[in-house]
Each structure stands twice: as C-alpha cells, then as structure tokens.
Amino acid sequence: MIEKVAKSAQSAFIHLSALPEEVRNNALKEIASALKLRGDEIEKANNQDLENSIKNNYPQPLVKRLKFDQAKIQEVVDGIQSLIQLPDPIGITLSATELDAGLELYKVTSPIGVIGVIFESRPDALIQISTLCLKSGNAVLLKGGSEAMNTNHILADIIYTASLKAGIPENWMHLLETRSDVNQMLKLDEYIDLIIPRGSNEFVKYIMDNSNISVLGHADGICHVFADQSADIDMAIKVIEDSKCQYVAVCNATETLLVHDKIAAKLLPGLKTVLDKHQVRLIGCQRTAEIIDVELANEQDWKTEYLDYTLSIKIVDNIDEAIQHINTYGSGHTDAIITQDEKEAVKFMNLVDSGDVFWNCSTRFSDGFRYGLGAEVGVSTNKIHARGPVGLEGLMIYKWRLIGNGNIVSDYSSGKKKFTHKKLDKKYPL
Amino acid sequence: MIEKVAKSAQSAFIHLSALPEEVRNNALKEIASALKLRGDEIEKANNQDLENSIKNNYPQPLVKRLKFDQAKIQEVVDGIQSLIQLPDPIGITLSATELDAGLELYKVTSPIGVIGVIFESRPDALIQISTLCLKSGNAVLLKGGSEAMNTNHILADIIYTASLKAGIPENWMHLLETRSDVNQMLKLDEYIDLIIPRGSNEFVKYIMDNSNISVLGHADGICHVFADQSADIDMAIKVIEDSKCQYVAVCNATETLLVHDKIAAKLLPGLKTVLDKHQVRLIGCQRTAEIIDVELANEQDWKTEYLDYTLSIKIVDNIDEAIQHINTYGSGHTDAIITQDEKEAVKFMNLVDSGDVFWNCSTRFSDGFRYGLGAEVGVSTNKIHARGPVGLEGLMIYKWRLIGNGNIVSDYSSGKKKFTHKKLDKKYPL
C-alpha cells in the first residue's frame, strides 16, 4: 500500500523537479491564499483535536503545541510569503569545467527526490515542511501525530488541492495515516531518499535505528559552555544564563557548564545568584560542591539532556580536559567557549568536533532563522551531507551534466586527445 | 577489540584535523619517499601473495589486479605527488554572515571524522585511500582482500611509519585483519562516520544492508545510451561503441541501448556491424529482433549489469518512454542521449534522475580523473552528500563557527536588538 504511494511520489518528483521556479512559487501563493480562505475549516478541525486531547488527558504542553488558530495561520502564511522570496535552490551551477574543447561539464543543483517527514503534535510543521519541499522540487510523504489528525487532514487537503490547481503534478505529497504506515515507509529505501524526523529524542532514535534510509536530524542536543581561565566573568555569567535559561526545552540550550579551575571560585558564586533567580537546579562535580551548594553529579549527568531548568557543572584543570569532555559526552551539536584569549578560542573551535562551535556567545544562537538561512529544515548532528542548522540546501543535491559533440573516451585513453580541465566562469547553458 | 581501535582513530582524527596543511603535505612526501625506498620489500611481499594466489587457483583477473611491481609503485608515488599539489580542502570558508554588528558566522569546511574503507584485491587502493584521508584530515580504518594480505601489511606499515615520522598523530590509520573485524566495524556507528566499499556489486550491497553507517558508493552501474530520432547516425554509432566496448568491466560502461522507433531501421544494422567486430553479444526486444539478429530480451535483461561484451537493446516510441525506462530500470549512475535536438536534450537531462546525465558523448567519461577532480574517492549513486564521481570534497563536511563578544539570544527575542543577516565577503579570520 505505502509502497504504491511512495512509488507514485517518486514519479511525481521527476516532473516536479523540472518545473520552472514560477510554477512552484505560484503554487506557494495559491497555498497561502487557500489557507487564509479556509481558516474557519482549519479552526473547526483543530478544535476537534483540542477537545479530544483534553478528553484524553494529554499533557498540557502537548495540547498547547497542538493549538492552531487564526494567529497561527497568519504566522504560517507569512512564512510561505518569505519562502517565495528566497532564491530558487534548483539549477544553481556549482562548478563548470571544460574537459576539452567542445566538451563541457557542469555540476548543477537539483532536488533530492522523495522526503519522508515524521513529526509530532505541532501542525505548523506539516505546512512548513511541505512548502519547503515544494519550493525545492522534492516530493514528500508526511506523518503527523494522531492527536492532530483532524487538523493535519484539512491542512494537507488545502495544500494539495491548491498546489494541483497551480500545476504541480499529482501525488507529489501524501499524508500517511498510521504508525504501521510509518514502519512500512522506513523500509522503502528504493523510493525514499531522506527521512526527516521531528520530535522527541526517543522518537528520532527509533527512526534512526529502524531505517536504512539516511536520516537528517539530531537525537540529542547535549550542549556545553566552557568558561576558560581568562573569561570575562560578567560576560560568562550573562552568556551562561542565556544559554541555559532563555528557553530550556530546546536542543541548543546548554546542559553542562565546564569551568576552568583557575576561575571557578570567582565565577561560580555570582553565577549561582543569577541562576537561582530562574530556580535552576544545579548538579556539580565534587570540586564544584566545595565552592557552591550543588547536588553531586554522577557519570550519567554528563550524558543527560535535561531540557529543563537543570545544569550540570564540572571543574576542569585546563582547556584540553574541557575539549576531551565535550568530545566524549557531547552530542556534536553546539558548544561555546568564553575566553579573552584568542589562542584558546582557536584551539577550542578547531578541536571540538561539533557542528556548531562558538566563541563568546550563547549556544542558543544555533538555529536556522538566527543564522539567516531563511527557512529551517532541521538541525543535523550528522557528519555527512548537512551539519548544524539546515536550510533549503539540505534538501538539495546536484547532477553532473556533460555536453559534448560525439566525444568518446578512447580518443583520450589512446593519447590522440588530451583533457584540458579548464575551470569555466559560466553558468549551465541549457 | 575493533571498538577500541575505532575509538583511538576517532581521538586521532581530532588532532589530525587541526594540523596545518604543511604537516599533512610533508607526511605525504615522507610516504612517497618511503614507498620508493622500500620498493624491494613491497615486491617481495607481493610475490608471496601472487604465489599463494596461483597456488589457490584464484581467477586470472584477480591475480592480475593483485600484481604490485616497481611500475605500480612509481604510479602510486606519482599519484601522491599530484595529491600534494591539490589545494587544501580543510578550512575553506563556504559562507560568512554578519548576524549583527560584532557577531559573525562562518561556515568552514572540515574533515568528516573516521572513514572505514573496505576494498578487494588491488593493493593500490590502500595507498590511494589512505593518502586521500591524510590529505583531507580524516582518520581511516582499512580492510583489504585476504589474497593481498602480505602486500597490504607492508604498505600499511610503510605509510603509517612515514606519517608518524612527519608528525601525524598515532592511531590515525589502522589495517583490519579479518572479515569478523569488518562485521564489527559495520556496527560502530558511534565512532565511524562513513563507509567506502570498493569492490563487486554483491559486496557493496552486503555492506549497505549490514550497516547503519552512511555508505558512499554504488552497487550497480546500469548505464544507458538513448539514440533519439534526430540523432546523427555516425555519431550515435561511435558513442555507443565507446560506451559499450572501450572498457566493459566498469560501472560506467553502457548496458542498455534505447533507440527511438523512427531511427531504429537506419541505426541498428550499421551499429551491429561495428559491435560485431568486438564480438558484442546482442540481446534485444521483439521490435529490435525484426531489424537485426539478436537474442530475445526478457524483463531481467533491463535490470542486469553485464560488465561484459553484452548489450541489451530496446526500441521505444518516444523520449518519454526512454526516460521512463531509465528511471525504472537504471541505477542512477550515468545516462546519455544522442540527439541533434537541443529541446530533447534538455528534457532528457532534466527528467533522467541520475547522478550523471550526458548529451552527445560517451557514458565512459563519468570518472573523477576525467572530470578533473584530481583524485577520486569513488562514484556515488547516493542522493545525499555526494553524487556521481566524488573527489576529495566527498571526504569533507563543514562546521559553523560563530564569533561574538558576549552576545545573548534574549536581546533578540525581546526585540532589543535585531539581526542584520548581512552577507560578508571575507574568510574565516581565526
């Protein structure tokens, strides 16, 4: 069943990928209009989901994320408008080489193919990811949380209907219904090229463990701030406060503070005063406990993503110990050093093996919108394809396009002709 | 056991990745000298492998690929010299953005981490891939074929010893010994970031099916030439001959010819005369059989990579049928159209979903050296990270490096400050 769906999406992708920018942007405009026009239907469906959630005693934060009212609709419509303004990611010439006179090679961006997206309660994820896929010429299979079933249904219907009206090929988008659909999808590496899971860590881990398809995402966000011996104390307190407290439930919030032994006594008491205002629970190593009042940390704490007002603190003897700690216990997401010493900053940023390495600023900056990527596909802790916050380019790959005039390899292997391999400063001409 | 090895490679990678270009290039020079200096030892070890292979009645082509004499040594030394000349792939600024005054974001290339490479009989693969990894700052675990055991041992010893002499960190390279080592390696996604298998299709498929780690490579190379109705007949014959016969045992050799119905009667008899000279076995559809003498093709033929003097031929009604056939039966490797009609070429190159799409030239051009990539890591039929022939850039990813002066996110979320998101035309300064 899902195999058939995926196959039809693959075949839609071929035609979608070759559509001119204008058609894709017009479809996005149609979608934005349709979402506003059918706002009442959306709210009605969403109210049903909200009622069911309350009836089923779903946790309060989940119910809150589920809510999709006129204000939310305006927000996603604004998002679509700015997506339309972004430059077309398809057809960008990455390199051009003359292999020989009249034999020209172009490396040109193209969409990846069929993207499988699995997300939890927030229905705006459905709109965001399907419009990102449309802009970038990818087909998409979507599965939302069952608690948002009615909202997702109407949203998918609005988007699909509007896109077809604007000339987008049938079957480019499918809404999957059940968990069993997802499990089937995870096996379809013949048709699906990339999976983007959005949700809890356990959920992302489950996806990664149960599919051969490449996964773009992050299971953990165990971020660190290291306060070096030469850190400006006021700056350190300000950045640590922001990194921990500005929004605790997200992947780029800091979970562990590493403090150079030489400034621990100067930094920690003042820091505690600030963190106490946020009622941050402090867990520390033995040496930390000798300076401020903390619960004693165990090995497990260094591996824990609290996603809460909790901070683990460890005092280290030097920057090498800090780097070693991060590379051992971190998740390769975002790690920052606070120091006035440029040499130490260079060392930290070169040797910490994370997607995002920061000097004298908050780990909370690690985000596609703050990075100015225009639209965020997700944050990746992978080490191939895309790393850190991923914009539209994470949905792109390239094709090699070679244009000749009857050229054959035996002329070159026989020595009759020679390759010139001259870089060309021009765009793909076709 | 292998877990310990992989862990030590990961820790070596951190330091290797931060070494200046000069140290890595000097190490490559040391390796080139050592290979020449210890040529006699290499030949002696290789002779042992050759003797064992003959004793064990290994097939002739395998024994041939195994041979590693002074001429081969000179060839790999030349390869290392040109690798030294290639620009440093580490530390290239891909983008620079001012997020706000004094808060600058840089996207800078960095090596991936630990690469696992599994290759069959050719011992030069060991040298090629380990020096590519060294140049690009990656650590590497290597496993060669058991038939080349003695040669691989001495080569790995020479490379490792010379590199350490030049200041490369210990444990950056390991030679694995057994198949069980490989099976262990395939499970170590915590330490190994990318697997590059080089060998037969069955072998690559086995690796892909048995590891969660990303695989760079191709299992099949089912390449097509499509002779369109407006093809120049002489050009078509020349390109098809080269695509099929120039070297049959490789992934970019053509396996299936698609012929537009309108030129089949003009093209096929002349083509047959040329292919008969190479004793190419011809397998064709019913309509082909009505024009020239061929064996009748069955469904399985369209999915078969012959890697031999065998060509399957199918007559199609139009370009759409050709594109559909390629997207259904092809392997996403390399496909060419022969046509005088630019519109048809554009359509073909846009709608064929392969890494390499060619107009009026041989599929055999699909190769890293011919593309001028300088060095070839492999050919990929993946649709993420790297596609088609992959040069050094396939071993690279990037880090986001953010430099601030105490900047915090709450200033931006409160509206006190605004992001500027100004593109900067400068390189990463640290």
Q: What is the mean pLDDT of residues A335-348?
A: 98
Q: What are phi and psi of A388, to 5 degrees?
A: 75, -155
The mean per-residue pLDDT over the stretch A143-158 comes to 94
User: What pLDDT score was predicted for residue B203?
Assistant: 83
B318 vs chain A: nearest CA distance in angstroms?
Answer: 17
Tell how strand A356-361 and strand A334-338 pair up. parallel
A200 pLDDT more than 80: no
Angstrom distance (rounded) from CA B45 to CA B122: 14
Report the alpha-carbon distance of residue B191 to residue B178 in Å, rounded.
Answer: 19
B194 → closest Cβ in A357, A384, A407: A384
**For A358-409, how does the pLDDT look when each residue is reduced to its tens digit (9 = 90+)?**
999 999 999 999 999 988 888 999 999 999 999 999 999 999 999 999 999 9
CB pair distance less than 8 Å for B403 and A193: no
- Measured in angstroms, the CA of B98 and the nearest CA of chain A are apart by 9
Inter-chain contact A350–B18, Cβ cutoff 8 Å?
A: yes
Contact A238 B351 (CB under 8 A): no
Given a cut of 80, whether residue A199 has pLDDT beyond it is no
pLDDT at B277: 98
> In the 8-state DSSP scheme, what is residue A163?
H
Q: Which of B370, B80, B135 is nearest to A419 (CA)?
A: B370
Spell out the residues 6+ positions from residue A252 whose beta carbon is closer than 8 angstroms to its own: A221, A223, A333, A334, A356, A363, A364, A365, A366, A367, A379
Which chain A positions have a beta carbon within 8 Å of B364's beta carbon? 408-409
Under an 8 A CB cutoff, do A14 and B358 touch?
no
**Rounded average pLDDT over A413-418:** 96
| Minimum distance, in Å, between the CA of residue B57 and any CA atom of chain A | 32
pLDDT for residue A37? 97
Task: Collect all residues of chain A within an 8 Å Cβ-Cβ radius of residue B209.
Answer: 212
Mean pLDDT of chain A: 95
Contact state of A370 with B412 under an 8 Å Cβ cutoff: yes
Instruction: Considering only the beta carbons, identify the residue of B372, B409, B421 that sits closest to A362.
Output: B409
- Where is A77: in which H helix or E strand? helix A70-85
> How many other CB atoms are there within 10 angstroms of residue B199's CB atom?
17
Give residue-wise pLDDT tens across range B320-330: 999 999 999 99
Contact B246 A410 (CB under 8 A): yes
Give percent of chain B above pLDDT 70.
100
Nearest to A402 among B105, B350, B358 (CB): B358
Taking contacts as CB-CB distances below 8 angstroms, the residues of chain A near B403 are 345, 358-361
A187: closest CA of chain B, how far (Å): 12
Chain B residues inside the 8 Å CB shell of A346: 430
Decide if B409 and A246 are in contact by the 8 Å CB cutoff.
Answer: yes
- Residue A212, pLDDT score: 84
* CA–CA distance, B317 with B15 (Å, rounded to integer): 59
Q: Chain B residue with minimal CA distance to A216?
A: B384
Residue A283 pLDDT: 98
CB contact under 8 A, A399 and B387: yes
Contact A351 B208 (CB under 8 A): no
Q: Which residues of chain B have pLDDT under 70?
A: 121
The answer to whether A208 contacts B212, with C-beta atoms less than 8 Å apart, is: yes
CA gyration radius, chain A? 25
Q: Do you know the residue count of chain A?
A: 430
Q: What is the pLDDT of residue B59?
A: 86
CB pair distance less than 8 Å for A408 and B112: no
- Taking only the tens place, the pLDDT of each residue in A22-68 is 999 999 999 999 999 999 999 999 999 999 999 999 888 788 889 99
Judged by CB atoms closer than 8 Å, whether chains meet at A400 and B371 is answered as yes
Say yes or no for a CB contact (<8 Å) between B383 and A238.
no
Among B88, B117, B400, B395, residue whose Cα is nearest residue A353 = B400
Q: What chain A residue is nearest to B358 in terms of C-alpha separation?
A: A402
Contacts of A78 (CB under 8 A, 6+ apart): none
3-state secondary structure of A317: coil
Q: Which residue of A has its CA nearest to B351?
A: A14
A96 interaction partners in chain B (CB closer than 8 Å): none
What residue has token string 């998101």? Answer: B421
Instruction: Pick the closest to residue B409 from A249, A276, A253 (CA basis).
Output: A253
Q: How far is B48 from chain A (nearest CA, A)?
A: 32
Query: By percentage, how much of chain A surpasses pLDDT 90?
Result: 88
* Residue A255 and residue A311 in contact, taking contact as beta carbons nearer than 8 Å: yes
Task: Using DSSP, state whether B401 is helix, strand or coil.
Answer: strand
Partner-chain residue, chosen from B97, B349, B387, that has the shortest CB–CB distance to A397? B387
Give the angle subtended at the CA of A164 by the CAs of A158 and A168, to the nearest 5°: 125
Q: In the predicted model, what is the mean pLDDT of residues A141-149?
A: 92
Is A133 within 8 Å of A139 (Cβ atoms)? yes
B-chain residue closest to A331, CA distance: B190
Q: Which residues of chain B does A388 touch, with a Cβ-Cβ cutoff of 8 Å?
A: 399-400
Taking the CA of residue A296 and the nearest CA in chain B, the distance in Å comes to 28
Structure tokens given for B154:
């001495």
Interchain proximity B402–A358, CB inside 8 Å: yes
Share of chain A above pLDDT 70, in %: 100
The DSSP-derived string for B65-119 is HH---HHHHHHHHHHHHHHHHSPP-TT-EEEEEEEETTEEEEEEEEE-SEEEEEE
State pLDDT tens for residues B28-75: 999 999 999 999 999 999 999 999 999 999 888 788 889 999 999 999
- Record: contact B351-A241, CB cut-off 8 A: no
Whats the size of chain B, residue-wise?
A: 430
Per-residue model confidence (pLDDT) at position B336: 98
- Helices A21-37 and A70-85: angle between axes, nearest 10 degrees: 170
Query: Are A400 and B388 inside 8 Å of each other by CB?
Result: yes
Closest chain A residue to B336 measured between Cα atoms? A402
Chosen from A99, A138, A341, A409 to mutate, greatest number of chain B CBs within 10 A: A409
Domains of chain B and CATH, by start: 2-216+383-395 (3.40.605.10), 223-365 (3.40.309.10)
- Could you tell me if B354 and B332 are in contact, meaning their C-beta atoms sit under 8 angstroms apart? yes
Contact between A370 and B209 using a beta-carbon 8 Å cutoff: no
User: Helices (H), strands (E): how many in chain A?
Assistant: 15, 17
Q: Given this model, what pLDDT does residue A21 score?
A: 97
Contact across the interface for A430 and B402, Cβ inside 8 Å: no
Over range A240-250, report the average pLDDT.
95
pLDDT exceeds cutoff 90 at A247:
yes
Which pLDDT score, from 0 to 100, does residue A378 have? Answer: 87
Question: How far is A384 from chain B, CA to nearest CA, in Å?
Answer: 6
Q: How far is A51 from chain B (nearest CA, A)?
A: 32
Q: Which residues contact A398 (CB under 8 A, 6 or more apart)?
A: A94, A107, A108, A109, A110, B387
Of A190, A170, A218, whose CA–CA distance to A332 is shortest?
A: A218
CB contact under 8 Å between B113 and A383, yes or no, is: yes
Residue of A357, A332, A354 lying closest to A344 (CA atoms): A357
- Cα separation, B53 vs B147, in Å, equals 7
Q: Which residue of A has its CA nearest to B193?
A: A383
Q: Are B186 and B207 in contact (CB under 8 A)?
A: yes
